[in-house]
Amino acid sequence: MTCDTATLAVNLGGLRMKNPVTVASGTFGYGEEFDRYFDVSLLGAVTTKSISLKPRAGNKPPRLVETPAGLLNAIGLQNVGIERFLSQKVPYLRKRNATIIANIYGYSPEEYAELARRLEAEGAADAIEANLSCPNVHDARTAKGAVLVSQSCEAITVYTRAIREATRLPLYIKLTPNVMNIQEPALAAEAAGADGVCLINTLLGMAINPETRKPRLANIVGGLSGPAIRPVAVKMVWDAARVLRIPIIGTGGISGAASAIEFLLAGATAVSVGSMSFRRPDIALRIVEGIAEYLKRHRIADVNQLIGAMQA
Amino acid sequence: MRYIQDCEIVAHDLVAPDHWRMRLRSADIARAAQPGQFCMVEVVETLYPFLRRPMCLSEIHDDGFTLLYKVEGEGTQLLSRRVPGQTCSIQGPLGNGFPIAPEVERHIIVSGGIGVAAFPALARALADACGRPPEVVLAARTRDLLLCADLFRSMGCTVHLATDDGSAGEKAYAAQMLERLAPGPGTRVYACGPMIMMSTTAAVAARAGASCLVSLEAQMACGDGACLGCVVESKVEREGEKMVRVCVDGPVFDAAIIDWEAHNTAYDL
C-alpha cells in the first residue's frame, strides 16, 4: 500500500483505527471469508456478523432479492453463537492482527450485557457494536407491529445502559433509519453512555412477484441496502452529526472512495462498507487506497480534516 | 485459488430462444476450475443491476471457459447485449464441483432445461477419467430448448432426449427417463434442472439404490459464503446448523441430505 497511515488514522470513541474504513456487520461474514481476496487487517477494523448467545438458524429461504441499485435481505441473524465465535472465528482475526468490532444481538438488555462481558473477558473484541435495529428477526405475519429496539428512545436508554455497565470497551449503538427523527435515538444512545453510533441499518422494504402475487421473501419484509439507500444515509449522518458529541460510523450504499468521503463530509468519523463487498470483495481496501489518493490530490494532511467539512 | 478478472468475451451466440452461450478468455480461471464449479458474472459496470449473477462453468477450455445461460430478468437481458471483444468481470472459480469417481460402474447425467449448463465439462471429465463417456438424459419443455445434444454426442455419450410436449424424443419427464434406464446400486446419477425435476430424479435414484448428486441454484449476493442468502434446508445437522449454503457448501450436494419438501414449500412463494 502506498498510503501514509499517519494521515488516515481516526479515533472512534476510544478505538484507534489505522484508517476510517470498516465493513458493515452481516456483509463480511467473520472476516475469514474475505481472506482470499485481501489482508483484512489492513482495514481500520473488521466488524463481524451479529453474534447471539445461542446459535441462530435464521429465516427460511428465499432470503434475498435484488432491487433497483440494491437488495432486500431477510437473513434473520443466522450466526454461530458466542461459543463458536470465540473458539473458531476470533482466533483467525487475532492471528491476522485485525482490529475487531464485534457486533452483538440479544433478546434482552441482560443478553446484550452478557455478550459484551464475555467478549471483553476473552479479549475477543476491540470494540462492541450493539445491533438494536435488525428488521429481520420477527415474522411479519405473526409479530404485528413489531418494534425494533432502536425505534424507542426509552428502550435505547435501557439497553445501552445495561451494555455500558458490562464493558469498558468502546461501545457503538447501531440504529434503525425507520424513525421520524434520527437525532432523538442518537441522542438517547449518547446520553446512556455510548461511545458512538452507527448510522444506518437497513430500511424496511418488500417486493412482490406480480406473476405469482406472492412476496419475494419468505419473511415477506426485509431490509433494503445498497447504493439505493445512500442519500437517505448521508442525510441521517448529517442530521445526527449536528447534535452529537460522540462520533458516527456512517454506512449505507457506499460503493467507492467518493461515496465514503461523502459520509465523512456529512460528519461521520468512520465509514462501513456494506453490500458492495458482495459485488467487489476487495472494495473496502480499494476505498482505503482511494481516500489516501483523495487526500493527496486535495493536499489535505489528515483525514480528520474531512469530518463534517461539507461546505454549505 | 479464486480470481476476479476482466475476461475478454471471445464468442457470444444465441443458441435457442432466450438462451445464450458466452465464451470467455481466462487461462487462470480455466486452470483452477473443476466441472460443476461456478463463477459470479458482473452483468454491467454500473450499479444497477447491483449484484453479480452466479453461473456454472459449462465448458472448461485451455484458455478459458464457456457459460450457457437463459435470459430470465434484467441482469441476463443486459448481459445478452455484450459483444465479443468487450470484457466482463468474472469472480471464480467458486464452490465445490462434482467428485469424479472412476470406480463407479455407471454414470448417468440427468438434465432438465437450462440445467444442462452444469454438464458438458462433467461429461468430458468422466469420459477422460473412466475411459467411457456417461449416458445423458436430456430433457426440456420443448424441442428448441434441448441444448448441447451434439456436444455430448461428440464426446461419445449416448443421449436420451425427452420433451414435456413430445416435440422431440420421448414425451416424458427427466425422472421417468431415468427410471427407464434402470439405474442400480452401482450407478451414480448427476442431476441439474428445476427443483421439482431434481427432487423426483433423486427419488428415482434413491429407490434404485443409486447415489445421486445434484447441482443447486439459488439467489445469492456474494457467492463466497458471507451473505448467507443462498441457504437451503438440509436433513443433516452439522454443528447444530441445519442450513447449508449453496455457494460454499455446494452447489453440488448429495441429494440425500437436501430437505426437498422444505425447499418446495419455501419456493412456493
pLDDT in tens, A10-66: 999 999 999 999 999 999 999 999 999 999 999 999 999 999 999 988 999 999 999
Distance of CA A100 to the CA centre of its chain: 12
CATH, residue B70: 2.40.30.10
The residue with greater pLDDT, B113 or A140, is B113
Task: State whether B118 and B147 are in the same domain.
Answer: yes
Give the pLDDT band of residue A6 (cuts 50, 70, 90).
Answer: low
Strands A196-199 and A248-251: parallel
pLDDT in tens, A171-196: 999 999 999 999 999 999 999 999 99
Give chain B positions within 8 Å (CB) of A81: 240
Strands B252-254 and B211-215: antiparallel
Q: Please report where in the chains the cell 452466479 appears, as a residue.
A: B54
Main-chain phi, psi angles of B206, to 5 degrees:
-65, -45
Exposed/middle/buried for A299, CB within 10 Å: 0-12, 13-18, 19+?
Answer: exposed
Residue from B55, B46, B44 nearest B92 by CA: B55
| Structural domain harbouring B137 | 106-216
Give chain B positions within 8 Å (CB) of A278: 51-52, 221-222, 226-227
What pLDDT, on a 0 to 100 scale, did the predictor assign at position A168? Answer: 98
How far is it, in rounded angstroms, from Cα A53 to Cα A93?
Answer: 20
Helix or strand or coil: residue B224? coil
User: Is the CB of residue B231 less than 8 Å away from at least one CB of chain A?
Assistant: yes
Q: How many domains does the structure of chain B reveal?
A: 2
- Give bridge partners of residue B171 from the DSSP assignment: B163
Q: How would DSSP label each residue in B17-42?
A: TTEEEEEEE-HHHHHH--TT-EEEE-
Helix or strand or coil: residue A214? strand
Give chain A positions within 8 Å (CB) of B94: none
Give the pLDDT band of residue A4 (cuts 50, 70, 90).
Answer: low
Q: CB–CB of B59/B65 below 8 Å? A: yes
Determine the residue among B77, B195, B228 to mutate to test chain A binding: the one whose Cβ has the most chain A Cβ atoms within 10 Å: B228
B239 lies in a domain?
no
Q: CB–CB of A202/A272 below 8 Å? A: no
Distance of CA B127 to the CA centre of its chain: 18
Residue from A49, A52, A74 nearest A61 by CA: A74
What the block records as the C-alpha cell of A18 is 489505522
Give chain A positions within 8 Å (CB) of B260: none
User: Is the CB of residue B77 less than 8 Å away from at least one CB of chain A?
Assistant: no
Exposed/middle/buried for B185, CB within 10 Å: 0-12, 13-18, 19+?
Answer: exposed
B41 lies in a domain?
yes
Helix or strand or coil: residue B215? strand
Give me the catalytic one of A3, A134, A153, A198: A134
Q: How would DSSP label each residue in A215-246?
A: ESSTTSEEEEESGGGHHHHHHHHHHHHTT-SS
User: Is the CB of residue A28 less than 8 Å away from at least one CB of chain B?
Assistant: yes
pLDDT in tens, B71-109: 999 999 999 999 999 999 999 999 999 999 999 999 999
What pLDDT, on a 0 to 100 scale, did the predictor assign at position A1? Answer: 45
B257 lies in a domain?
no
Task: State whether B128 and B83 are in the same domain.
Answer: no
Task: State whether B121 and B206 are in the same domain.
Answer: yes
Cα A105 to Cα A100, A135, A141, A160: the distances in Å are 16, 12, 22, 12
- Identity of the amino acid at B100: I
Q: Where in chain A are the domains?
A: 5-58+76-203+227-306
- Are A84 and B239 an interchain contact pair (Cβ–Cβ within 8 Å)? yes
What the block records as the C-alpha cell of A104 is 452483538
What pLDDT, on a 0 to 100 scale, did the predictor assign at position B266? Answer: 55
B169 lies in a domain?
yes
Peptide bond into A287 cis (omega under 30): no
Please name the member of B50, B224, B243 whose beta carbon is closest to the beta carbon of A78: B243
Please name the member of B229, B232, B242 whose beta carbon is closest to the beta carbon of A75: B229
Total length of chain B: 269
Task: State whether B128 and B157 are in the same domain.
Answer: yes
B110 lies in a domain?
yes
How far is it, in rounded angstroms, from Cα B60 to Cα B34?
Answer: 8
Task: State whether B211 and B114 are in the same domain.
Answer: yes
- Are A78 and B229 an interchain contact pair (Cβ–Cβ within 8 Å)? no
User: Is the CB of residue A36 less than 8 Å away from at least one CB of chain B?
Assistant: yes
Please name the member of A65, A69, A278 whose beta carbon is closest to the beta carbon of B48: A69
> Number of Cβ pairs closer than 8 Å across A and B?
111
Task: State whether B135 and B201 are in the same domain.
Answer: yes
Give the pLDDT band of residue A128 (cuts 50, 70, 90).
Answer: very high
Helix, strand, coil % (nearest 5) of chain A?
35, 20, 45
Helix A153-166, helix A183-191: angle, nearest 10: 30
Average pLDDT over residues A104-109: 93
What pLDDT, on a 0 to 100 scale, did the predictor assign at position A47? Answer: 98
* ipTM of the shown complex: 0.93
Task: State whether B61 and B119 are in the same domain.
Answer: no
Give chain A positions within 8 Å (CB) of B225: 29, 33
Query: At A115, which helix (H) or strand (E)?
Result: helix A109-121
- Identity of the amino acid at A8: L
User: Is the CB of residue A60 less than 8 Å away from at least one CB of chain B?
Assistant: yes
User: Is the CB of residue A256 less than 8 Å away from at least one CB of chain B?
Assistant: no
Task: State whether B115 and B203 are in the same domain.
Answer: yes
Helix or strand or coil: residue B243? strand
CA atoms within 13 A on the CB side of A221: 17
Which of the listed residues B94, B124, B148 is the one where a domain comes to its end?
B94
Helix or strand or coil: residue A113? helix
Give the pLDDT band of residue A143 (cuts 50, 70, 90).
Answer: very low
Class at the top of the CATH hierarchy for domain A5-58+76-203+227-306: alpha beta
- Identity of the amino acid at A147: V
Task: State whether B74 and B174 are in the same domain.
Answer: no
B225 lies in a domain?
no
**What's the pTM value of the predicted model, to 2 decimals?**
0.94
- Are B50 and A279 an interchain contact pair (Cβ–Cβ within 8 Å)? yes
Residue from A312, A301, A235 nearest A268 by CA: A235
Please name the member of B51, B240, B262 whose beta carbon is closest to the beta carbon of A66: B51
Please name the member of B221, B226, B263 whose beta carbon is closest to the beta carbon of A33: B226
- Give bridge partners of residue A181 from the DSSP assignment: none
Give the distance from residue B4's alpha carbon to the nearest chain A alpha carbon, in angstroms: 9
Give the pLDDT band of residue A148 (cuts 50, 70, 90).
Answer: confident
Please name the member of A55, A66, A217 whose beta carbon is closest to the beta carbon of B50: A66
For this structure, is A153 an active site residue?
Answer: no
Residue from A17, A48, A13, A24 nearest A229 by CA: A24
Task: State whether B112 and B69 are in the same domain.
Answer: no
Give chain B positions within 8 Å (CB) of A63: 219, 228-231
| Among the ranges given (A75-79, A92-96, B132-136), the one the predictor scored with the smallest mean pLDDT | A75-79
Which of the listed residues B64, B94, B124 is the one where a domain comes to its end?
B94
How far is it, in rounded angstroms, from Cα B39 to Cα B6?
Answer: 13
Residues in chain B predicted with pLDDT less than 70, given as ranges, are: 264-269
Task: State whether B31 and B85 are in the same domain.
Answer: yes
User: Is the CB of residue A231 less than 8 Å away from at least one CB of chain B?
Assistant: no
How far is it, in rounded angstroms, from Cα A190 to Cα A244?
Answer: 7
- For residue B53, what is the nearest residue in chain A, using CA coordinates? A279
Which of the listed residues B94, B125, B160 is the one where a domain comes to its end?
B94
- Are B75 and A278 an interchain contact pair (Cβ–Cβ within 8 Å)? no
- Are A66 and B219 an interchain contact pair (Cβ–Cβ within 8 Å)? yes
User: Going by C-beta distance under 8 Å and a sequence separation of 6 or more, which residues neighbour residue A98?
Assistant: A31, A40, A41, A43, A45, A46
User: Is the CB of residue B266 less than 8 Å away from at least one CB of chain A?
Assistant: yes
Helix or strand or coil: residue B8? strand
Task: State whether B121 and B208 are in the same domain.
Answer: yes
Main-chain phi, psi angles of B72, to 5 degrees:
-115, -30
Cα A45 to Cα A10, A17, A28, A96, A272: the distances in Å are 11, 7, 12, 12, 9
